[in-house]
Structure 1
Amino acid sequence: MRSILCHLGCAARQWLVVSGPERGRIWNDDRADEVDLAPLLDDDGRPVTFTRWYLDWLDRAEQQLFDRPQ
């Protein structure tokens, strides 16, 4: 089972797996671009967990907040 985590635009999505052996991991859904579902991997090729995904998202959001012109 999976739950949509975010919509990336143009029908691309990321899913959070909520049960089974992949529980807690994020998968990319690029089927709109004729690419199958695939696990989201970090720069070292390891599967991205929800915790890592969320902390990275917070870092990007904070960076955008401080990069805004005053």
Structure 2
Amino acid sequence: MQGKRPSTIDAYARAVRRITEFFDCVPDTLTTADLKQYFNSLIQTHSWSTIKLDHKASAFCSRPSTDTTTR
């Protein structure tokens, strides 16, 4: 997680789980329209801090990895 603090890693993991549960699919397959739908729904049910955190997590997870090692 590129030097992120353990609390940040935990928060991002929770955010990805929320997104995954909302759509019941792998987050890699989501479109921009899907994420807009998710955040519009999240606004109705969660705090602003949760919305910001989920947005940061989704942006972080959607960036291409700079890791060149084989998995």
Asked whether the two chains share a fold, i.e. TM above 0.5, the reply is: no
The structure showing larger relative contact order (alpha-carbon pairs under 8 Å, at least 6 residues apart) is: 2
Give the TM-score normalised by the residue count of structure 1: 0.31
Indicate the structure with greater strand content: 1
